[in-house]
A = this chain, B = another copy of it.
Amino acid sequence: MSKRPLILITNDDGISSKGISSLAEAVLDLGDIHVVAPDSPQSGMGHAVTIGEILRIKSAYFPIKGVTAHSTSGTPVDCVKLAIYKVLGRKPDLILSGINHGSNSSINVIYSGTMSAAVEGAVESINAIGFSLLDHDPDADFTNAKKVVRQMTMEVLKRGLPHGVCLNVNIPKISEGEELKGIKVCRQAAGYWEDGFDERKAPNKESYFWLTGEFTNPDKGEDTDEYALSQGYASVVPTQFDLTAHHAISELNSWGLT
């Protein structure tokens, strides 16, 4: 058996995106790389799993040599489950998700398929990192992002992560010729989306809607991911699946519910 770590790569932009091949390329020599990714974009799928519908999985072409690849009809979380139980036959040593085309900082973490794949890794007690570049361009420049991917992957392979924790890594868009300032450990900023819906009319006169919105961040803390990114740093937020608001338990107990 190989002593090289078994690294599972997935994403939510789909197996043919530039971000996932950039991710594989950045870590190619660090382990045995298997890609199991959605066959089509799954952005905004959050922690969705496919229940009550069928799942398909197929061998797939992947542009990086030395990488085994499968595509699935499922969500990013489905991809992690299918990879473990149908493709690899065991838990990988590390799950890497991304590189997402667009930010998953602040509240975006809960809508993000990229990060949900990493969180699912934490649920399964597998070290996992989600990577996102603040650039939606399908042909974005991943040069800086790949350096961060490589550094963080080597750190996590060496040190491991605390139990129940994965990492949410966001990388700012850097102008050509400029350098990334560095990497900062942060908390998730308390931002949110001011939503809206654009209305359109179908030929039969029925209305339909497109979700739109503007990200708003009233959280001015200098320990947040938003602040680090605004200053030209990559942000690393340790991220957990325990949603319990532990600080609120004593207040609720004071209600005297019986």
Which residues of A does B touch, CB under 8 Å? Answer: 41, 43-52, 54-57, 77-78, 81-82, 84-86, 107, 109-111, 116, 119, 123-124, 151-152, 155, 159, 161-162, 164-165, 168, 182-185, 187-188, 190, 192, 195-197, 200, 206-211, 236-249, 251-253, 255, 257-258
Whether the pair B209, A165 counts as a contact (CB closer than 8 A) is no
In the complex this chain forms, how many copies of it are found?
A: 2
> Which one, B152, B159, B208, B244, contacts A188 given CB within 8 A?
B244
- Shortest A170–chain B CB gap in Å is 13
Pick from B44, B86, B239, B255: contact of A243, CB under 8 Å = B239
Q: A45-B48, A46-B49 are in contact. Are A195 and B257 (CB under 8 A)?
A: no
Q: What is the distance, in angstroms, from A110's C-beta to the closest C-beta of chain B?
A: 5
Query: What are the 6 tightest A-B residue pairs by CB atom distance, in nearest-first order?
Result: A46-B47, A238-B248, A44-B51, A238-B245, A240-B245, A46-B46
Q: List 22 A-B contacts (CB under 8 A).
A: A43-B52, A44-B49, A46-B46, A46-B47, A46-B48, A46-B49, A47-B48, A48-B48, A48-B111, A54-B210, A55-B210, A55-B211, A56-B207, A56-B209, A57-B209, A81-B197, A85-B196, A152-B257, A164-B245, A187-B244, A188-B244, A236-B252
